[in-house]
Amino acid sequence: MSDRVAKWRQSFQKARSNSAQVQADLQKLELLSAQDVNQRSERAKLSAGIRGKMSQLKIELERLQRELQSLADNSSENEVTRKSITQFKDELAQATSTMLMTCPYGTALRRLLVCMMPGASILHQAATHDLPREATVAMGKAMANIMKAKRVTPEISAATGLPKRIRRDRGAKAAKKAAKMTKETWRKYQSAEHREAWPKPDYMQETIEAKAVRDGGQGAYRDRTYEIVTRWTQHTKIAYRPHAKAPGSKSHIRYEKYSKAKTVGQALKLGSYPIDWCFDYEHGFIKVVGGDIRDEPIDKSMELAKRCGLRVADLRIERGAMESMHMRAHRLVAERTAQEILKRKKNGRITADDVETVLTNWSFGRNTSRQNVMPQGQEWVKSDTLGLLRDRGGNIHALNKFLLQRLPEEAAAFKWTSLNLNCNYAARRHRDANNFGPSFIQAFGKFTGGTLSVWPEDNKQEGKPHQLPEKMKQTVDIKKNLVLFNGNTAHEVNDFEGTRFSVVYFCCGCHDKTPKPVQEELKKFSILNCAACRKGRQSWMKGSAAVTV
């Protein structure tokens, strides 16, 4: 017997063992009562397990059938092996038939097995079980109908090149009949004028990366949406966009009914679900016009902790000022990611991709105090400061290690106390007011543009930053280079497209007033002695131009 045939036989014996386990589970399922409350949960769990095993068994038997046919078509096999293959065909057919007969009539498993039946004669299989002729004929007809149905060539989608799925109706036809509005009438309400009157929230314009919730993703709806919607009460006054959903769909029928509501309480009575508010709010179909609104969102800490793989207590312990529950959760995910990177690269080099991963998971706060960097027309920017002003253990360790591993000998005297994290804004031309000495900066992310322009000869005597001549500036690519520059001179970020982060390492102006215990705490985060900033300043301020490292 050849090696291929011997290997096939081992796989077949394993499949028969799995088949026996499925039959045992089915017998156990029959003993559990669907009416008994105590047994209902166990029955549901066991059914789910059986379905999984059935699906795997189907795939395995189909594979065995194909391999056996391939072996049979191989004319190079000797006579003994060919006889063995013929015997295996009968054994495979008999094993499948045995499962089919022992399963309760009408079960999903029987229907599944009928589709898996090898090409052996159904009459022969039935005869081996001494079935009545009526059952044999009925099974033969059923098998013939199934095989006929399987020969139907499915329609191929022009868009995907794959067979089109046959969708169940699920009430769609009834919804079309119930619609009282034509598509032509509905389109009149989809004009640019209506869209301008009912815009989507500003934060929906922000592009977010699709990723698992555990890794910092936001799920089906944005975290900001949950924070807004869970502040509503039954007395919150709302208004719905007229005829927002297309006729012919089930959602149109429901929307036409609950969109007449004037309050959240009325919307619930008219058939709206809370999840409808999330969808409608993100698409600009609903807006709040008054009434009662909670100061804080409903506490979803248990659900949020479960989604992000956190402890509920972690969402409350050391929660910072102005830090929402969702913001805290994403920052903890970033913290966990940073710790994992540090553990994995204990003696290795922190890469730009590692930093980008941490910053992507980090939830940036809306900073309204950095008036000097805000682009024209903006009221806030996504910017956080860590270190002497705020502390986050894992993130600071990872970001500091990134810089420490890249400091050249010429920059060994550079010291810093704080880190500034920025996300997706081009800082307008400004001078830093509270920095002590020079700063290091690097950008991360998938973007184009976003270079840094510095006016190294700015002595603050030429007037305001925007009055400085363009010819005095020096532009550097901070995505490709780690750059040392004097932040107290004028500088700006040029326009960019994509997702852009930046990290600025600087010495806080109040470092000399830092209490000893705080200085010791900063050292734990790989931030160097604050007092050393004074010693290094003079040597670094001799040259004020931007320097790439």
Average pLDDT score over residue span 490-505: 93
* Residue 107 pLDDT: 44
| Better-predicted residue by pLDDT, 370 or 246 | 246
* Residue 442 pLDDT: 94
Distance, in Å, from the CA atom of 503 to the CA atom of 488, rounded to the nearest integer, reads 17
Distance, in Å, from the CA atom of 546 to the CA atom of 407, rounded to the nearest integer, reads 15
Q: What percent of the chain has pLDDT over 90?
A: 22
| Contacts for 373-379: CB closer than 8 Å, 24+ residues apart | 373/425, 373/427, 373/428, 373/430, 374/425, 374/428, 375/425, 375/426, 375/427, 375/428, 376/428, 378/425
SS (H, E, C) 520-547: HHHHHCCCCCCCHHHHHHHHHHCCCCCE
pLDDT band at 300 (very low <50, low <70, confident <90, very high): low
- Res. 477: pLDDT tops 90: yes
Most confident of 239-243, 324-328, 430-434: 239-243
Q: Which two tokens stand for residue 497?
A: 């497209």
How does strand 483-485 pair with strand 439-449? antiparallel
Distance, in Å, from the CA atom of 152 to the CA atom of 30, rounded to the nearest integer, reads 35
Average pLDDT score over residue span 5-9: 82
Mean confidence (pLDDT) of the chain: 77
Distance, in Å, from the CA atom of 89 to the CA atom of 96, rounded to the nearest integer, reads 11
* Residue 153 pLDDT: 64
Q: Choose among 471, 481, 487, 387: nearest CA to 427.
A: 487
| Better-predicted residue by pLDDT, 153 or 282 | 282
Average pLDDT score over residue span 191-207: 89
Delimit the CATH 1.20.58.70 region(s) of the chain.
3-149
Taking the alpha carbons at both ends of the chain, their separation in whole angstroms is 68
* Residue 128 pLDDT: 42
Q: Which two tokens stand for residue 117?
A: 């039946």
Average pLDDT score over residue span 369-390: 78
- Res. 12: pLDDT tops 80: yes
Report yes or no: 396 and 386 within 8 Å, Cβ to Cβ.
yes
CA 231, 232, 236, 237 dihedral sign is: positive
Q: How many Cβ atoms sit within 10 Å of the Cβ of residue 24?
A: 10
Query: In the beta sheet, which residues pair with residue 420?
Result: 385, 504
In CATH terms, is domain 3-149 a member of 3.10.129.10? no
Average pLDDT score over residue span 403-417: 82
Report yes or no: 360 and 417 within 8 Å, Cβ to Cβ.
no
* Residue 282 pLDDT: 94
- Res. 239: pLDDT tops 90: yes
Delimit the CATH 2.60.120 region(s) of the chain.
367-548
- Res. 535: pLDDT tops 60: no
Report yes or no: 453 and 473 within 8 Å, Cβ to Cβ.
yes
Q: Which CATH class is domain 367-548?
A: mainly beta
Average pLDDT score over residue span 304-319: 72
Average pLDDT score over residue span 20-41: 70
- Give the helix ranges, DSSP H, for 391-465: 393-404
pLDDT digits (tens, 9 = 90+) for 45-82: 787 787 778 778 777 877 888 887 777 777 566 666 77
pLDDT band at 108 (very low <50, low <70, confident <90, very high): very low
| Better-predicted residue by pLDDT, 94 or 52 | 52
Report yes or no: 310 and 196 within 8 Å, Cβ to Cβ.
no
Distance, in Å, from the CA atom of 491 to the CA atom of 439, rounded to the nearest integer, reads 12
The angle that helices 393-404 and 325-344 make with each other, rounded to 10 degrees, is 40
Q: How many Cβ atoms sit within 10 Å of the Cβ of residue 35?
A: 6
* Residue 427 pLDDT: 92
